[in-house]
Amino acid sequence: MPTRRSQDTDAGDALFETAVEQFDAAADLIGLDDKIRTILRSPKNEIIVSFPVEMDDGTLRMFRGYRVQHSDILGPFKGGLRFSPDVDLGEVKALAMWMTWKTSLANVPFGGAKGGIAFNPREHSDGELQRIVRRFTHALGSNIGPEHDIPAPDIGSNAQAMVWMMDTYLNAGGMGDRQNTRRVVTGKTIETGGSVGRDKATGQGAAFVLAHHFEQINRDLRGTTAAIQGFGNVGEHCARAMARMGVTMTHVADHTGAIMNGHGIDPERLWEHTSRHGGVAGFGDADEIDVEEFFSADVDILVPAAIENQITEERAPNVKASVVVEGANGPTSVRGEEILIDRGIEILPDVLANAGGVTVSYFEWLQNKMSARWRLAQVDDELRRYLWEAADQIEEEKKRLACSRREAAYAVALNRIGTVFAQRGIWP
C-alpha cells in the first residue's frame, strides 16, 4: 500500500474515488479504449509546494499549495485555485479531473487542472493575503504559463488574487514578454485585462442552462421558485440571472445558516447583507430555517452552488424540486444521484451547469492574446451559444445511449478527447 501522506484526508480520497467512478461508468458506456482510460484515470502532474510567508506580527508561517494538472490533450491545463482550510490533494485531483471533462464538453481548447492553498482567507489581512498569493505563484514558477497552465478563481479566491498572480508572474519573467503573458491567469479585474461578464459568468451560465432545459420540456420559467445553496460568486450571480428570467428565490443557505421567505428574497438586498456580514444569517427580510429544511424546500428548482457532497443519500429522498442545477462542482453524491433519478428529478450536471466560468475564461484569454476588448452583449451571446450547443449535444447523446444526463455529458466530453488521442497517438 502506498504510504499515506499527512496532506491526504479520507474526504479528499473519497471525492477522487467518486470522480473516477463517474469516469469509469461513462468510459464503459461509450466503450472508451482501454489505453486512453488508463491514462485518464490519473492526473498527469501533481505539484505540492510549501512556502513561508511573513505575517503582520512578524512571525513566519508555512503554507501548503497544490496544483494538479490532469490532462492537456486538448490544450493548456486550465482550472481554478481554491483557498480553503479543507483543500487537500484528493479534492484537488477530483476537481482537476472534472475540469478536463468540463473544458472538453464546452468545446474550449483547454485541458483540465485545479489547485489551491490550504488556509482560510478570512483570517488574513489584505497584506498577508497578497504575500501568500505572491509566494505561491513564485513557488509554482514555470509550472504555470500562458500556453501551459492557466489558473483562475474558485472558492475563496477572487479577481484581486488573480491580479497579484499575474503581476508576480510578469515581474519574474523576461521584459520582452511582459505584455503578452498576462493571459497566464483569467478572472482578472477588467482594468488589468479581465473580461466583462467573467465575474458573473458561472452563475449566468447556470441560468442559461436552466433556461435551455425549460425550453426543451416546454415549461415557462416565469413564476417558478428556487432554493440556492451558497451565496458566493456562483450563487449570487445565478440568483440575479434567474431573477431576470422571472424566477423567485425563496430559500438560501450558506456556511452561516439558511433563510426563507415565501414571497421571495431580493438578490441585491441579500448581496448587500452578505458583503457586510459575511453570510446570509441575520438577513432581516426572511425567517431562519434549519439546513435540512432547506434541502426539503417546496420549490421548483434547487441550485447547489457551494461545495461538494451536499445532496447525499440522506437528503436526496427529501428533495421536492423537480430540477437540480449543479452550480457547484460535485454537489451530488453517486448514491444521491441514483435516488434523485429514481424519483424523476432532473439533474443538470456540474460539467455543463457551471461551465460558464471557464468558457468566459477562454474568452478572456482570447481577448488578451489579441489585445481585444469584447462588449458584454458579445460575451453573453457567445456564452449562451457555447453552453446551448453543449446542452443540445448532451440531450442527443442521452437519447442515443439511454443514459443519465451526467453520463451523456461525459460521453460527449470523452468522445472528443478519445478522437484526439486516436489521431495524435500515444507517444512514444
Q: Which residues lie across from 82 on neighbouring strands?
A: 116
Q: Rounded to the nearest whole angstrom, what is the least distance from the CB of residue 34 to ligand GLU in the complex?
A: 29
Cell 458584454, residue located: 376
Contact footprint for ligand GLU (CB under 6 A): 78-80, 152, 154, 186-187, 329, 354, 357-358, 361
Q: Rounded to the nearest whole angstrom, what is the least distance from the CB of residue 319 to ligand GLU in the complex?
A: 23
Q: Rounded to the nearest whole angstrom, what is the least distance from the CB of residue 5 to ligand GLU in the complex?
A: 25
What would the grid cell of residue 65 be?
Answer: 499549495
* C-alpha closest to that of 398 among 33, 41, 31, 29: 29
Cβ-based nearer residue to ligand GLU, 82 or 240: 82
* C-alpha closest to that of 359 among 182, 148, 184, 203: 203
Helix, strand, coil percentages for the chain (3-state, nearest 5): 50, 15, 35
Cβ-based nearer residue to ligand GLU, 154 or 326: 154
Report the amino acid identity of residue 366.
L
**If you ran DSSP here, which 8-state letter would residue 196 be given?**
T
Is 114 among the catalytic positions? Answer: yes
Find the catalytic residue in 44, 93, 102, 114: 114
Dist CA 223 CA 296 (whole Å): 20
> Is the Cα torsion angle 125, 131, 132, 133 positive or negative in sign?
positive
Q: Which residues lie across from 348 on neighbouring strands?
A: 325
> By beta-carbon distance, which residue lies closest to ligand GLU?
80
Q: Which residues lie across from 228 on neighbouring strands?
A: 252, 303
For residue 279, the tally of other CB atoms under 10 A from its CB is 17
Cβ-based nearer residue to ligand GLU, 91 or 300: 91
Bridging pattern class, strands 45-54 and 248-254: unpaired
Cβ-based nearer residue to ligand GLU, 116 or 267: 116
What would the grid cell of residue 354 be?
Answer: 457551471
Q: Which residues lie across from 248 on neighbouring strands?
A: 225
Cβ-based nearer residue to ligand GLU, 154 or 300: 154
Cβ-based nearer residue to ligand GLU, 300 or 326: 326
Q: Rounded to the nearest whole angstrom, what is the least distance from the CB of residue 138 to ligand GLU in the complex?
A: 21
Q: Which residues of 188-206 are buried (b: 16+ CB within 10 A; e: fewer)?
A: beeeebbbbbbbbbbbbbb
Q: Residues with catalytic annotation? A: 114
